[in-house]
């Protein structure tokens, strides 16, 4: 499975688990196993705010685009994310934000 990331400034969190052709996105399961090689599922057929574009099966490999919520302290890796290729089963690792600024102690 290949996941393309579309960054958007949001304060929400995104947790994705992959198991074969099934993605669990923030606790909601999406089974893409019925999508055969060469098939395309339009984003409008997916009832989720996290899928940005169609899901395709290209040469037996699922490819989809997820919205990547990025915080105020987003990193360059979040603003311009690389595609996640050959994503393994388990939790999907997304680019991390920059460290939060440390507030100075007032005396």
Average pLDDT, stretch 49-57? 96
pTM of the model: 0.89
Residue 104 has pLDDT above 70, yes or no: no
Confidence of residue 100 (pLDDT cuts 50, 70, 90): confident
The domain locations on the chain are 2-88
pLDDT of residue 103: 65
How high does pLDDT run on average in the chain? Answer: 93
Residue identified by tokens 């009832």 is 47
Give first-to-last CA distance, the chain, whole Å.
53
């Amino acid at each position: 499975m290949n996941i393309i990331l579309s960054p958007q400034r949001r304060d929400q969190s995104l947790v994705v688990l992959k198991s074969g052709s099934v993605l669990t996105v923030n606790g909601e399961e999406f089974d893409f196993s019925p999508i055969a090689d060469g098939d395309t599922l339009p984003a409008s057929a997916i009832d989720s705010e996290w899928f940005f574009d169609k899901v395709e099966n290209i040469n037996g490999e699922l490819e989809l685009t997820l919205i990547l919520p990025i915080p105020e302290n987003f990193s360059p890796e979040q603003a311009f994310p690389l595609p996640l290729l050959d994503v393994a089963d388990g939790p999907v690792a997304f680019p991390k934000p920059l460290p939060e600024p440390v507030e100075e102690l007032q005396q």
